[in-house]
Amino acid sequence: MTRLLIIDDHAVVRQGLVQAFSDKGFTSIETTGNLKEARAKIAALNPEAIIVDLNLPDGSGLEIVQWVRKLSADVAIIILSLNDPAQFIKIARSSGANAYLSKSQSMPEIISSVTFALSNPGSFTSTLTADPSLDFDLTPREIEVLYLLAEGASNSDISLKLFISLSTVKTHISALMRKLQCTNRTAAAKIARDNGFLL
């Protein structure tokens, strides 16, 4: 029995994954559609494998990846997203995920990635390819700040949400502006959308 948690805000995606993994013998499967519930379910279920989307209603799935990875090196963590792989493969790896997959990939590929990660902790796989010419070299934390900026969050909002100081928020925003080569939040959000960071 493998304990699996699926974190995605689209019910049809959750249902499809539950059905596919049930057919493969997974008997303990939980689902949720947001970060807050995900944290509670992780504490209750102690999952051996997690499939998480990047775009959740209350933040980025990268928060879950980094949080879980601090607690355990052995949990298989698969990011399953619509976001542009050219930007996110490197970020997924540095955040601690075991694989980055597109929602357009087949169910056997998704199941295979989870199975491989379960038996090979510390591995990273992706059948997608990154384009080095599009690499802005953003960190997972900068991506989280970028998501919140795009939602119109103030520096104070970002500080509270990510549990970091205002000066740290300003440092991340300065780094984002430099790396994205822009001078304001609106431009940063547009560049992020144009380059596949945001949907």
Q: Which of 141, 158, 139, 162 is nearest to 150 (CA)?
A: 158
Q: Over the stretch 120-134, which tens digit does the pLDDT of each residue have?
A: 888 888 866 555 555
Q: Longest C-alpha distance within the chain, in Å?
A: 52
CA 81 to chain centre: 8
Angle made by CA atoms 17, 46, 144, in degrees to the nearest 5: 70
Confidence of residue 89 (pLDDT cuts 50, 70, 90): confident
Angle made by CA atoms 19, 97, 69, in degrees to the nearest 5: 105
| Model pLDDT, residue 171 | 93
| Model pLDDT, residue 131 | 53
- Mean pLDDT on 75-98: 86
Q: Is the pLDDT of residue 181 over 80?
A: yes
The structure's pTM equals: 0.73
Confidence of residue 179 (pLDDT cuts 50, 70, 90): confident
| Model pLDDT, residue 130 | 57
Rounded CA-CA distance 96/136 in Å is 19
Three-state SS for 9?
coil
Domains of the chain, earliest start first: 3-119 (3.40.50.2300), 136-194 (1.10.10.10)
Q: Over the stretch 15-74, which tens digit does the pLDDT of each residue have?
A: 999 999 999 989 899 999 999 999 999 999 999 999 999 989 988 899 999 999 999 999
Confidence of residue 6 (pLDDT cuts 50, 70, 90): very high
